[in-house]
Amino acid sequence: MTPEQVTLVQQSFAKVAPIADHAAVIFYDRLFEIAPPVKSMFPADMTEQRKKLMATLAVVVNGLSNLESILPAASALAQRHVAYGAKAEHYPVVGSALLWALEKGLGDGWTADIAAAWTAAYTTLSGFMIEQAYGRPQAAE
């Protein structure tokens, strides 16, 4: 990721943060729409899960300017996801739902440059997480 992309991700996430719970609802609704089988990996009451998602995104987004600082947490998260039943092929689906939710949340603020920046961020982190969890790097877009 370029420094400019990091800035775009951070600035755009700052605009999503005030509607964090709504953004998380949009994300999970989309995820379950495009990948219904993954719904069984989640609790019936998604309240805490939505909070965890947005808190994790905040940590990641804030740490992008010092990527090395968030890699240990990303590795641990990847290992936990394996225990929940997540597979490498789920990462692209999650990425698609995330980008879709961000586009909906940002509305007119979603630009080609912001889309590219978020794609780069997600691809970087998900590739690392897949490698940590499954022992092989794999592109996840």
**52-90 tens-digit pLDDT:** 999 999 999 999 999 999 999 999 999 999 999 999 999
Instruction: Report domain extents, the chain.
Output: 3-134
121 by Cβ neighbours in 10 Å (0-12 / 13-18 / 19+) ranks as buried
d(CA 58, CA 2): 19
Q: Which residues contact 138 (CB under 8 A, 6 or more apart)?
A: 88, 91, 127, 130, 131
Class of domain 3-134: mainly alpha
Instruction: Please tell me the predicted confidence (pLDDT) of residue 133.
Output: 93
Question: What's the mean pLDDT in 41-55?
Answer: 95
Instruction: Please tell me the predicted confidence (pLDDT) of residue 139.
Output: 52
Task: Write out pLDDT tens, residues 104-123.
Answer: 999 999 999 999 999 999 99
Dihedrals phi, psi of 138, to nearest 5 degrees: -155, 135
